[in-house]
Amino acid sequence: MPDASPWKRVLLKCSGEALMGDGAFGIDFAALERIAGDIAEVAASGVQVGVVVGGGNLFRGVRTAASGMDRPSADSLGMLATVMNGLALADALKRGGTDAVSMSAIPMPTVCPSYTRRDAMAALAAGQVVISTGGTGNPFFTTDTAAALRAAELGCDLLAKGTQVDGVYSADPKKDPSATRFDRLSHGEVLRRGLEVMDTAAIALTRENHIPVMVFDLHQQGGFAAALTGRGLSTTITDD
């Protein structure tokens, strides 16, 4: 990473869908390796990196509940999906030579360490990439909210939300060609305009804790480092 990142400790939200690559379900190993490489690039530059990984490539509670399953059970499937993704991402990072640990908010000690703030803080300080899985550990939440929660409790100075587009647009740019991209927004504007960046709980949590949110394209190789150093396009959401 040629330029220095102004951010010292960053929480990356990586959706499950990003791990799908061009597929329709599951983990695409080429996409997994590429994203692990992008995270490794940032970690190697000295930025401490926490990651919250989603599970939408495997299960989404709301969608599964729509088929008749009760919502808390469906959400448990979703949270377990994030654990699988986190284990795969930690493995890809380690194979690439980057020290990483995947910690689950749902204790499963024979599979991976349980998430505790204390252990996560220690691992970040030691330079490990810390992947927080299992969401918040509670149904009726999303991994966006889990990302905001971890960013707040781990003292991250930025929540970097990796998406399929290079920022926040006035409308869905895939459906509306006249949609324009915002360079900057405030948390309040996102809530007032109902912009679909993250769910309301996640935006509210970042606003209360004065954590900027940077929305960038995680599908571009090197997009994470480019966004952090201001070389790539992104939208930054800051205090009102």
Residues in contact with ligand UDP by CB under 6 A are 15-17, 54-56, 60-62, 75, 78-79, 81-82, 135-136, 138-139, 141-144, 146
The residue number whose beta carbon is nearest to ligand UDP equals 54
Q: Which C-beta is closer to ligand UDP: that of 15 or that of 128?
A: 15
Nearest CB to ligand UDP, comparing residues 1 and 10: 10
Beta carbon nearer to ligand UDP, 52 or 101: 52
Tokens 């990142």 label which residue?
5
What are 103's two structure tokens? 């910690």
Considering beta carbons, is residue 56 or 229 the nearer one to ligand UDP? Answer: 56
Minimum separation from the CB atom of position 85 to ligand UDP (A): 8
- Smallest distance, Å, CB 17 to ligand UDP? 5
Chain position carrying tokens 């709301």: 62
DSSP three-state, residue 107: coil
**From the CB of 162, what's the least distance to ligand UDP, in Å?**
10
Of residues 79 and 124, the one with the C-beta less far from ligand UDP: 79
Q: Which residues pair with 14 in a beta bridge?
A: 53, 162
Residue type, 9: R
What is the closest distance, in whole angstroms, from the C-beta atom of residue 123 to ligand UDP in the complex?
Answer: 21
- Smallest gap from Cβ 175 to ligand UDP, in A, equals 19
Counts of helices then strands in the chain (DSSP H, E): 8, 10
Rounded Cα gap, residues 75 and 70, in angstroms: 9
User: How far is it, in rounded angstroms, from Cα 9 to Cα 46?
Assistant: 9
Q: Are 55 and 79 in contact (CB under 8 A)?
A: yes
